[in-house]
Amino acid sequence: MLWFRRDLRLRDLPALLTAARRSPRALALYVLDDTLLRPAGKPRLDFLHGCLRTLSGQLDGRLLVVRGDPVREVPRVAEAVEASSVHVSTDTGPYGRRRDGAVAAALAKRGVEWVETGSPYAVTPGRVRKADGEPYRVFTPFYRAWLRHGWRGPADSSASTVEWIEPPLRGESVADGPDPLFEPGEAAAMRVWERFLDERLDDYGTDRDRPDRPGTTLLSPYLRWGCVHPRTLLADLPDGAEALRSELAWREFHADVLWHRPETARRNYDERFDRMRHDSGPGADEAFRQWREGRTGFPIVDAGMRQLLAEGWMHNRVRMIVASFLVKDLHLPWWWGARHFMRHLVDGDLASNQLNWQWVAGSGTDAAPYFRVFNPTTQGRKFDPDGDYVRRYVAELRAVPGRAVHEPVKLDGGCPEGYPPPMVDHAEERQEALARYGAVQDTS
């Protein structure tokens, strides 16, 4: 039996190769697990359902989808098909590790073998270590060691000749559902990738920071659900494509950090930040609402937050800007923002999300120095120089031409109707953020 989780594809899937070697017949299973899916909002769930639909199509409809606790459901299904082994790709997240331990134990009681092959990463988290066996805490040396460690070429699994067993139980139907904003599935992932290689790879190094341009791969939802394996991407990259290789390595680095320190999904990696003073009470709740709705009066922040609500996705540069604004201009805890992102992002991934938030907040691994506070207006002018990105998402500013869109209060006649003035004075809040940071340092 092959239990799909974060690997909704047939190409480059080592667990499928292992399963096929063991038996010419296999049942394909997916479990809708509410513990994992509860924090996910509509964009991520629609995308998941779309991916399950396309995977089911690839398996001639022979994908059994059940809902429930995997610790009960997986042994139940294994028993129904008299499976001798259950094959998976390793899940290295905190919940996945606990769950898999419990599922493997429940299967063992019934004499069913648990077999893990591969993971959603080029190098499985936990493997890249310093000479003394300690994990890396800083990206650049991790990156060098990760490159030295290397990885196998893509597994030739799509040619595996497994006969997929007709599901013996009635499962959940995935036949219908709304069309997600990102086209779901493995074939779509490969089309997105091939188009990127043809049209955008050459300019990635310069365009990747420009939210007004389609400069990045847009592959994060596909990597999140395993419609494509990073090894497939890495194998296609020409030698010079260092910028993209290193972005893919950031994904691996954060997964590695979370593997070693699972508590950092909720807690500061740098414990000195436990002493950081955050705003609270009705004023903080109201500020948080304005941020969530994209009504801060800072156009690049508002454009990003509205893009998130509309599309379930946000450009990386803008993710950094809105995160910095929440933490350093509004003085709210990073985990408030991280929770909101996890609810709305189609690519919401615990390791990448929580640890990028911590990176911006200054509490993470080789974090952006806390005293480097993004000025949202300057960032907007620099990375959206003609204002096109802002105008795309902030309807009230659509009539404002050029880069003037980044400072609407300075327009003749002030802010256009319906658009709020800046909710804070950035220069003052910057000083406040630095003072609070200083207090954290002093008490260490």
Contacts for 24 with CB less than 8 Å, ≥ 6 apart: 161, 162, 163
360 makes contact with ligand FAD (CB under 6 A): yes
In the bound state with ligand FAD, the residue whose beta carbon lies nearer, of 189 and 424, is: 189
Tell me the window of 91-99, 104-112, 261-269, 340-348 that interacts with ligand FAD (CB under 6 A). Answer: 340-348
In the bound state with ligand FAD, the residue whose beta carbon lies nearer, of 83 and 223, is: 223
In the bound state with ligand FAD, the residue whose beta carbon lies nearer, of 243 and 435, is: 243
Distance, in Å, from the CA atom of 354 to the CA atom of 348, rounded to the nearest integer, reads 10
In the bound state with ligand FAD, the residue whose beta carbon lies nearer, of 73 and 256, is: 256
Q: Which of 12, 91, 329, 347 binds ligand FAD (CB under 6 A)?
A: 347
Q: How far is the CB of 294 from ligand FAD (least distance, A)?
A: 16
CB 179 within 8 A of CB 48: no
Closest CA to 144 of 120, 123, 163: 123
Closest CA to 406 of 417, 394, 74: 394
Q: Buried (b) or exposed (e) across 407-420, using 16+ Cβ within 10 A?
A: bbeeeeeebbeebb
In the bound state with ligand FAD, the residue whose beta carbon lies nearer, of 56 and 352, is: 352
Q: Which of 89, 92, 157, 216 binds ligand FAD (CB under 6 A)?
A: 216
348 makes contact with ligand FAD (CB under 6 A): yes
Q: Which of 53, 224, 229, 328 binds ligand FAD (CB under 6 A)?
A: 224
Q: How far is the CB of 246 from ligand FAD (least distance, A)?
A: 9
CB 188 within 8 A of CB 227: yes
207 makes contact with ligand FAD (CB under 6 A): no
What residues from 277 to 316 belong to the interface with ligand FAD (CB under 6 A)?
A: 316
CA distances from 340 to 163, 256, 344, 431 (A): 42, 23, 6, 26
86 makes contact with ligand FAD (CB under 6 A): no
217 makes contact with ligand FAD (CB under 6 A): yes
In the bound state with ligand FAD, the residue whose beta carbon lies nearer, of 174 and 390, is: 390
Tell me the window of 92-100, 214-222, 286-294, 407-415 that interacts with ligand FAD (CB under 6 A). Answer: 214-222
Q: How far is the CB of 305 from ligand FAD (least distance, A)?
A: 12
Q: How far is the CB of 288 from ligand FAD (least distance, A)?
A: 15
254 makes contact with ligand FAD (CB under 6 A): yes
Long-range contacts formed by 100-104: CB under 8 A, 24+ apart: 102/71, 103/70, 103/71, 103/74, 103/75
361 makes contact with ligand FAD (CB under 6 A): no
Longest dimension (CA), the chain: 76
Contacts for 315 with CB less than 8 Å, ≥ 6 apart: 211, 216, 304, 307, 389
251 makes contact with ligand FAD (CB under 6 A): yes
In the bound state with ligand FAD, the residue whose beta carbon lies nearer, of 333 and 348, is: 348
Q: Which of 220, 363, 377, 379 binds ligand FAD (CB under 6 A)?
A: 220
How many chain residues are in contact with ligand FAD, going by CB under 6 A? 27
Q: How far is the CB of 329 from ligand FAD (least distance, A)?
A: 15
Tell me the window of 118-126, 250-258, 369-377, 398-406 that interacts with ligand FAD (CB under 6 A). Answer: 250-258
Q: Which of 323, 361, 373, 397 binds ligand FAD (CB under 6 A)?
A: 323
In the bound state with ligand FAD, the residue whose beta carbon lies nearer, of 107 and 350, is: 350
SS (H, E, C) 150-204: CCCCCCCHHHCCCEECCCCCCCCCCCCCCCCCCCCCHHHHHHHHHHHHHHCHHHH
Binding residues for FAD: 204, 216-220, 347-349
Q: Which residues bind ligand FAD (CB under 6 A)?
A: 208, 216-220, 223-224, 247-248, 250-251, 254, 316, 319-320, 323, 341, 345, 347-349, 352-353, 356-357, 360
